[in-house]
Structure 1
Amino acid sequence: MQDLTAHHVGLTVSDLDRAVAFYRDTLGLELLSRFSVGGDEFASGVGIPGASADFAHLDADGARVELVEYEPKGDESAHARLNQPGASHFGLEVEDLDAFYADLPADVPTISEPRTTESGTRICFLQDPDGHLVEVLEL
């Protein structure tokens, strides 16, 4: 088997412009590129008849975040809670979690204020405009 290397974390979003604005303007990630993909090979590759998608890649200090808006859009459903199989989140590290939290716009939903875990790590979970969970942590 060939060695695998990490490439990106992908999130399907309902409105790419809104998602890019959140990840770029609220979380400070750098927008690397935007592009569209369609055609029969793409549609069969993702298993969605007639699919096309608009993509944005952002840099999170060396980790690539891929935002994808599909056409046709899938059914909206409740997002899994963290303790349910199939739930997902990704983490971003900051030097000062309290300062980060204080600077969050008031309309950004969070699960709680920053908390210190038994391991000594400080964490805070927030949601993007589509409900994806983002863990912001301070080691």
Structure 2
Amino acid sequence: MATLDAHHVGITVEDLDRCVDFYRETFEFEVLDRFEVAGEAFERVTDTEAAADFVHLDAGGVRLELVRYDPPGAAPASDDLQDAGTTHLAVAVDDAGAFVADLPPEVETVSDPQTTASGTTVCFLRDPEGNLVELIET
């Protein structure tokens, strides 16, 4: 069997530029690539009648793919952690409390950092479109 490696984590967004700015400014992720995909093969593989704009960001060893479909889909994904199918991006930080304290006021935090029974300190925040981002202290 071939060796498999994860390639990227993808998040579908409505305002691509705003989300790229958020991840660049908040986490200092660098843009690796920006491109558009359209056409019959793309529509077949995604089961949509759409084109899409993509931005790939370097998230410290993980490629973060932000994608905006045109036209966008009608139903937003669930953003409640307990709902099946809910996703989030986890970002490792040295000090979650200090990181949260340095966030701009417009960044929505779900909670202050908490140390769980496993000894891990975590908290969640939301990107500009409400997608969950976990800060995990390493």
So what's the TM-score if we normalise by structure 2?
0.94
Is 1:13 matched up with 2:17? no
Give the whole-Å Cα distance in 2 for the aligned partners of 1:103 and 1:136. 13
Secondary structure of 2:108 counterpart? coil
Q: Structure 2, unaligned stretches of length 5 or more?
A: none
Give the match for residue 110 of structure 1: 109
Give the match for residue 134 of structure 1: 133
Task: Kindly report which structure 2 residues correspond to 1:1-139, keeping only aligned pairs within 5 A, or say none.
Answer: 1-49=1-49, 51-77=50-76, 79-139=78-138
**Structure 1 segments of 4+ aligned residues over 6 angstroms from their partners:** none
Deviations 1:16-46 (A, max 9, x none): 1001000001121111111111011111110
Distance apart, 1:76 and its partner CA: 4.0
The answer on whether the counterparts of 1:80 and 1:86 sit within 8 Å (CA) in structure 2 is no
The answer on whether the counterparts of 1:14 and 1:130 sit within 8 Å (CA) in structure 2 is yes
Secondary structure of 1:137 counterpart? strand
Give the whole-Å Cα distance in 2 for the aligned partners of 1:63 and 1:115. 25
Distance apart, 1:78 and its partner CA: 6.0
Residues 78/11 of structure 1: CA separation in 2 closer, same or farther (3 Å cut):
closer
The alignment yields a C-alpha RMSD, in angstroms, of 1.2
Distance apart, 1:97 and its partner CA: 1.1
Give the whole-Å Cα distance in 2 for the aligned partners of 1:5 and 1:89. 19
Give the whole-Å Cα distance in 2 for the aligned partners of 1:91 and 1:78. 18
The answer on whether the counterparts of 2:77 and 2:86 sit within 8 Å (CA) in structure 1 is no
The one-letter code of the counterpart of 1:130 is E
Give the whole-Å Cα distance in 2 for the aligned partners of 1:135 and 1:93. 8
Deviations 1:107-128 (A, max 9, x none): 1111101111111111010111
Q: Structure 1, unaligned stretches of length 5 or more?
A: none
So what's the TM-score if we normalise by structure 1?
0.94
